[in-house]
Amino acid sequence: MLRGSGSALKKAQDQIAAHETAESKRKEADEAAERDRLAKQGEFKTLAEQAEERAKKAEEELSGFRERETKRLLHVATLNKSRIDALPEQFRGLVPPGLDADATAEQLAKIEPLAGVQSPVPVHGGAPRAGGLTPRQQEEAEVKQMHDNGLAAIMGTAAKGGSK
């Protein structure tokens, strides 16, 4: 038959075999890449589920904080109203409208001593004792009383000494 056709045929067969081998390797590589992608996707899915659970717990915790803060602010606002009502009329204008509950309480704490009104709410020093005084206010009253008693004793002694 044809000379050299065996060699050309062999060469064509070798090329086809090389092409098939390369195609087989490419398919294996594609399948391995797909398996890796699916594995990573599973990892990401797990991570996403964990993150979603943490976010849900944080939202529940935040919801609890919001609820407690809302109750606290409502309580402070109620106390502020009674504190404003206890102020003499001429001092009420010193509490600007539109302040939040905490800012209003701070403003009232500044105004009440000027107005001569005892705050029903302890500003510093703990819970009020009987009579509505905080421990700090009670201590200040005791120191003032001791001071006044000391002055009276000195004045009384001086007056007695001067008349002898």
Distance from C-alpha of 122 to C-alpha of 109, rounded to nearest angstrom: 9
Residue 137 lies in a domain: yes
> What pLDDT shows up at residue 45?
84
Residue 38 lies in a domain: no
Residue 132 lies in a domain: yes
Residue 150 lies in a domain: yes
> What pLDDT shows up at residue 159?
45
Residue 79 lies in a domain: no
Distance from C-alpha of 86 to C-alpha of 121, rounded to nearest angstrom: 12
Q: Which residue has the tokens 């803060």?
A: 69
Distance from C-alpha of 35 to C-alpha of 137, rounded to nearest angstrom: 74
pTM of the model: 0.46
Contact between residue 90 and residue 70 where contact means Cβ atoms under 8 Å apart: no
Residue 135 lies in a domain: yes
Instruction: List the pLDDT tens digit at each of the 164 positions of the chain.
Output: 455 567 888 888 889 989 999 998 998 998 888 888 877 778 888 888 888 999 999 999 999 999 999 999 999 999 999 999 999 999 989 999 999 999 999 999 999 998 888 776 655 444 444 456 666 677 677 777 776 776 666 666 544 444 43
Residue 40 lies in a domain: no
| Long-range CB contact pairs, 46-51, < 8 A, 24+ | none
Distance from C-alpha of 29 to C-alpha of 40, rounded to nearest angstrom: 16
From the number of C-beta atoms within 10 Å of its C-beta (0-12, 13-18, 19+), residue 154 rates as exposed
- Report which residue type is found at 54: R
> What pLDDT shows up at residue 105?
92
Residue 145 lies in a domain: yes
Distance from C-alpha of 92 to C-alpha of 120, rounded to nearest angstrom: 16
Domain, as residue range, for 143: 128-164
Number of domains in the chain: 1
Q: Which residue has the tokens 């200040």?
A: 140
> What pLDDT shows up at residue 47?
83
> What pLDDT shows up at residue 5?
66
Backbone angles phi, psi at 23, to 5 degrees: -65, -40
